[in-house]
A and B are shown apart, each in its own frame.
Chain A
Amino acid sequence: MRPPKRLRRRVKSAVLLGLCATAVLITLLPLASILLECFVNGAGAITPAFFLQNPPPPCNPGPTTPCPVGGIQDALLGTLLLVVVASLIALPVGILGGIYLSEFQDRPLARPARFLADVMTGIPSIVIGVFVFGIFLFFAEQGWISSFSITSGYTGAVALAVIMIPVVARTCEEALRLVPVSIREASLALGIPRHRTILRIVLSAARGGVITGALLAVARAGGETAPLLLTAGFTTGAITGLSGWTPSLPVLIYYSAAGGYANTTQLAWGAALMLVLIMLLISVGARLALRNKFGGRTA
């Protein structure tokens, strides 16, 4: 006869497994429904013209009036430019900051810097937008920059960079900390100086985590709307580099979805689908990049 204890254990195990599976489902459900919704509503908008036009004047289709959906050409370009420039600022600063937090833990600045980074990740992004806007306004008041540059792609890129830096720094720190002391000692014991040990050995051993962190930050910046409203501005016209009002995908979605017009709503769905696809692409790209050259995944 099987002891009842064992039966009870089996039941417990089954119930717990069921709960876990339910939790997974609950987690995945919103994600799946977002994806589905974007596809169903947005796929229709995506034609070659979608990438070659800009947002149209809002209208509802009538029997005689043509009412084009338009496209996201300059907003897509604007998002790419903003994210690239923001990354150029945030990745070096963030990675160096992460190195400081992880490798120079005994320095007096390390603890306050880590605390600050944690606080910064929690600050609502609109506040960061206001903050960066305020700084550029101050610059303009001092006459250091033209007042036309307050609302510009550069201001927007700085705001995105401020959002990215703490994310990059903290994930980079965590990744570096996972590298065992024995690897550092192996390098130091070869007579490799500390800075080269950190930059060439430790950073290389942690590259998987560092790249993941960087891409996480890029994805976060690419989807931010609030800080760009105040800094980069928006235009349905052509982009003029980063020195003027710079359109971006999230802000395009924000303005297009708001009016309730048929054509711009359709455009917003299309843009939302594009944004989601770009994010997916980035994270798939990250996974591929993380397969190291020997075929296995690095930590």
Chain B
Amino acid sequence: MTGDKLVVENLNAWYGKTHAVQDISLSFPDKRATAIIGPSGCGKSTFIRCLNRIHETQPKARAEGKVLLDGADVYADDPTEIRRKIGMVFQRPNVFPTMSIYGNVAAGLKLHGGYSHDEMDRLVIESLKKAALWEEVKEKLDQSALQLSGGQQQRLCIARALAVQPEVLLMDEPASALDPISTARIEDLIFDLKNQVPVVIVTHNMQQAARVADRTAFLYLGKLVEVAPTRDLFERPAEKLTESYITGRFG
């Protein structure tokens, strides 16, 4: 398919002998948000962690298959370069505890080097604005990131990921630890962000998938069962398995 930013072909992933992701092929078009749903333990996190090659940083973890970013094989490139291009937001906010709010957002830029102070300031402000956090923190950029609330910390993590100008954004249940208001803000954010970069979001919340995603993929026991435009998947699932999952009649 042309126009796909990220293409996954026959991806397999293991933890030791556990075959967590089994032969998944899936592509992610530009300027779209794709949701990944499925029961706990079906391999959603493992799958997206293979896309930016974070999976292989764990002991005994291994991946095989092809992931193409703009047609170039991610697994043939330098992993640090890939991780800069494919950003990731985790389930729990993981701010750098000894850094200020500004320092957190600037961390990627600083440690990559090659940015002037003005550029850095501009990118930090821009990212905080995109992450809908600027108004809340503009007066206290030099204060500890730990003093922010959980929802603010998560938006800070989003800003931090955006600051290095990724070409794809992966999000692993980014709102699952948050209250409804923070969740709504993050959903709005995803809705805006997807116009700039393709967003892949893992979620347990089917309403959330329906609200933010253009396409939804259903995973079960490490395999891809079905992928379709979100509305079709929820209203007319092609597979029996998908239907029983989304209607809550499972097992």
Contacts and interface: CB of A to CB of B under 8 A. Distances in A.
B57 to A, nearest CB: 6
A185 B98 contact: no
Nearest to A200: B111
A191 interface: yes
Contact of A185 (B80, B82, B90): B90
A290 B23 CA distance: 50
Interface string B141-185: 001101100000000010011001000000000000000000000
A106 B61 CA distance: 13
A191 B94 contact: no
B85 interface: yes
Contacts of A184: 57
B96 A186 contact: yes
A192 B109 CA distance: 9
Contacts, number: 81
Interface in B98-145: 98-100, 107-108, 111-112, 143-144
Contact of B87 (A180, A189, A193, A299): A189
Given A182-B90, A183-B94, A205-B96, A189 B161 contact: yes
Interface in A225-261: none
Contact of A192 (B82, B87, B95, B112): B112
A296 B146 CA distance: 10
A59 interface: no
A205 to B, nearest CB: 5
Given A182-B90, A201-B107, A190 B143 contact: no
A192 B104 CA distance: 13
A204 B85 CA distance: 25
Interface residues of A, number: 25
Given A185-B54, A185-B57, A190-B83, A294 B90 contact: no
A279 interface: no
Interface residues of B, number: 33
A114 interface: no
A184 B88 CA distance: 13
B39 interface: no
Contacts of B95: 186
Contacts of B164: 190-191
B168 to A, nearest CB: 12
Contacts of A191: 80-85, 108, 112, 164
A146 interface: no
A232 to B, nearest CB: 38
A294 B157 contact: no
Interface in A151-198: 180, 182-193, 196
9 contacts: A182-B92, A182-B94, A185-B94, A187-B111, A190-B111, A192-B108, A196-B111, A292-B144, A294-B146
